[in-house]
Amino acid sequence: AGAGLREKIEESLRDVAALADDQVLRRLADLILAVQRTNFYQEDAAGKPLSFISLKIASRELADLPEPKPFREIFMSSPKVEGIHLRFGPVARGGLRWSDRAADYRTEVLGLVKAQQVKNAVIVPVGSKGGFYPKQLPDRSDRNAWFEGGRDAYKEFITSLLGLTDNLVDGAVTHPADTVVWDGEDPYLVVAADKGTATFSDTANAISLEKGHWLGDAFASGGSAGYDHKKMGITARGGWEAVKRHFREMGTDIQAEPFTVIGVGDMSGDVFGNGMLLSPEIRLVAAFNHMHIFVDPAPGDPKKNLAERQRMFDLPQSTWADYNTKLISRGGGVFDRSAKSIRLSAEIKALTGLAKDAVTPDELIHALLKTSADLLWFGGIGTYVKAGSETNADAGDRANDAIRVNARDLHVKVIGEGANLGLTQAARIEFALAGGHINTDAIDNSAGVDSSDHEVNIKILAAEAIRLGTLKAVDRDPLLASMTDEVAAHVLRHNYDQTAALTLAETMAQNDHEALERLMVQLEERGVLNRALEGLPDTGEMKVRSEHAHWMTRPELAVLLAWSKITLFDDLVASDLPDDPYFASVLKGYFPHPIDEFGEAMANHRLKREIIATVVANRSLDMGGPIPLLRLKEVTGADNARAVHGLEAARAVLDFDDFRKQVDGLDNAIGADVQTELRLEAAAALHEASVWFIQSMPHATLTEMVERTHAPLSAFIAALPSIHSPFAAARIERAARALAKRGAPEELARWASAMSHFSQGLMVIEVAERTGADVAEAGGCFYQIGDALRLDRMRASAREGLAKAGFWDRVAGRRLVSEMVRLQAKATEEALGQGGAEAWLATHADRRKDLLATLAALSKEKGWSFAKFALSADAVRQFMAE
């Protein structure tokens, strides 16, 4: 029908003479044809037309919309309210905002959803965001009437969204009655609180329940029967994981050592208030919100100050004016932002570098933002830092133009973004390039949205358990409450892992800058990444940065990590990988332990495939950031799903989770750089083992892969100290001693140092299976041949020599290394059939001398180039062929 209409429209447009008229009519036609649903024909309970009209639009069909273009958007309008809801996939979630921008609320919402997309990389749904603008509010002087007017507008907005959303009835999708529907099934709609709607979740859930929406009170997270973010302190706690990592990597334990803080917010706020209670060592030097400025130039007794902050946090609607000024150090105080001017003490002058005796409140805040401190903690709304290359208009926050500073003028070591948009992305990059420690707001404050997603998915499961009769409805809320701490632990684990992944990515970026350029090109080709929109360097700038050793920063890597997770999730959902029975344990592990008894409800969970894909995508990329998966695909030619298939098998057989737990348990006990080195060793071992699984067992299920190789590989690893060559033994011993000298436990140091041999063990297992030999016997033969032919030395030299080579040399070099190992395995198989390594070597004695002479000649000159390694490999290849 759409195609026929388009043809008729095109025919009619031939009669339009003016270009401008033609353009307007074409765009209007495009818009109408992009509409997927409308409520125009729906009626209320009295049979009368509804008071609002809503349209569901396939936004990507409209050429002139600004980027990024949503998957779908719903626009609604009535005499009372207008609103927009943008979402970037069929399964999406995000907050609804009470907007005060009559003319451009869609622009406001689009800017917010851009960040939400990235933040949602850690959870099941993709990003969405909504905003509504009430048009008939009473005068604001009557605060209660004004607030209730906003709530009424919100109700109509929510009703309009649900009115175009499918429902699930007895497991079957049903369209809304009296609705024009051009698209397919679309039942998932989940919302959350945002600016102005913090207390509206129960209102939204009441409408959902009234209309019989299948999600019930899971429709709007954070209601009275949900997880209270402020009580949990979850957003601040998640951000604090990021802050702790920054300091830990600088050699400071902020839970045990004093540090100074400048903050944005007040103690009544969720993120700022909870954040300033998370360490007994906080020395809060200054903070401000929209009402007051708090300055304590030389904070005194930290225990008393912490107790006072706790008192204020517990005090309903407290402000900085409630702070006990007797605890503030000499020269400090609490100042009103509405004051005409503020007289400065000698202590504040010394703290800020201001010379004047009196300044305006904005001047004082501007100076405080540039004051030296260890941590700048964002816990309030506003954009306070831009890049030197940006204008205030670029920051998009006119209210704070007078106090905003440039990132290059900051004098803090670490920035924690508990709140959104505290800095522009360009400012983050500028701060990081200058040596500052920072992630992004999407990384630091993802715990809130993560907690909400757990809530929604638990409620969906609980509803199914109630339907099945395995859970009583009255027991649901107590069950949810009993799992609060475990949900929080799951969420904080994500914050820990994701920031660790950024550290690994940052380290790898220095050694493989080109890989990140290739990754960005791939994401651009998929149509998901817009470098200009994300503030990422283009190809030319990447080359310049490489020349000046200005590697990609954590804020930039955070964006690439997020988009890598998003695309990996999409590919996993589109594949059959989530259907592998092996991942039943992944689904079970996503939920808190009390959910275990509801196995049938869990198996019936509508989003079980998406949950599995989310968990697997996150852990695949948290093991090393985006570069290892890119390399794995480049080496094997596998797509995302096949690469993860191999990676999951490697993860299991190498006991990666146990290794990771031991490394993570060493926080603040050994240097963070040593932990990073241990993690990099594991990432390299996982890569090699994954390559083997992808190439050697391409059609096996994960269960088959693991069951066939786990026990034999464990036997190989146990035998390794007694079977490897003297050369390998010496290298492992040197590496283990070096790690132990830097604080790593001896056993863990040896484990990490031997990991590079584990993938060879997989080839040995294959040989043992074909020959009937014991794994230890086959391994001994393998290493004896490698030592006699100097293959282990050649591979080690090649790896070290090619580490800094160009991309294609490294790719070709890795393939040659893999080929050499396969040839060694083939020789091992022949040797086991001829009585062992010594007998086999004896039959090849003359040619062995020639090979060793060739290798010796090639190794006379120091340094290994790709050309030398290729010639060496060719010599080995000829030796094995004869």
Active site residues: 129
| DSSP conformation letters of 454-490 | HHHHHHHHHHHHHHHTSS-HHHHHHHHHHTHHHHHHH
Cβ neighbours of 295 (radius 10 Å): 28
Query: Is the Cα dihedral 857, 862, 631, 524 positive or negative?
Result: negative
CA–CA distances in Å: residue 566 to residues 88, 457, 505, 812: 11, 19, 17, 30
Cβ neighbours of 79 (radius 10 Å): 10
- Between strands 92-98 and 126-134, the pairing is parallel
Question: Are the CB atoms for 39 and 163 separated by under 8 Å?
Answer: yes
Q: Which amino acid is at 415?
A: I
Residues 6+ apart with CB under 8 A from 404: 366, 383, 384, 385, 386, 392, 395, 397
Residue 54 pairs in a beta bridge with 76
- Between strands 126-134 and 167-169, the pairing is unpaired
Q: Taking Cα atoms as reference points, which of 384, 385, 94, 450 lies closest to residue 239?
A: 450
Instruction: Give backbone dihedrals phi and psi of 479, rounded to 5 degrees, phi first.
Output: -65, -45
> What's 490-550 look like in SS3?
HHHHHHHHHHHHHHHHHHHHHHCHHHHHHHHHHHHHCCCCCHHHHCCCCHHHHHHHHHCCC
Q: Tokens at residue 452, please? A: 């909400």
What does the alpha-carbon distance between residue 211 and residue 222 come to, in Å, rounded to a whole number? 20
Instruction: Give backbone dihedrals phi and psi of 585, rounded to 5 degrees, phi first.
Output: -70, -30
* Alpha helix ranges (H) inside 315-391: 346-352, 361-369
Q: What is the DSSP letter of 121?
A: G
Cβ neighbours of 863 (radius 10 Å): 9
The 3-state DSSP class for residue 53 equals strand
The 3-state DSSP class for residue 437 equals strand
- Between strands 81-87 and 342-343, the pairing is unpaired
Whether omega before 537 lies within 30 degrees of 0, making that bond cis, reads no
Residue 343 pairs in a beta bridge with 358
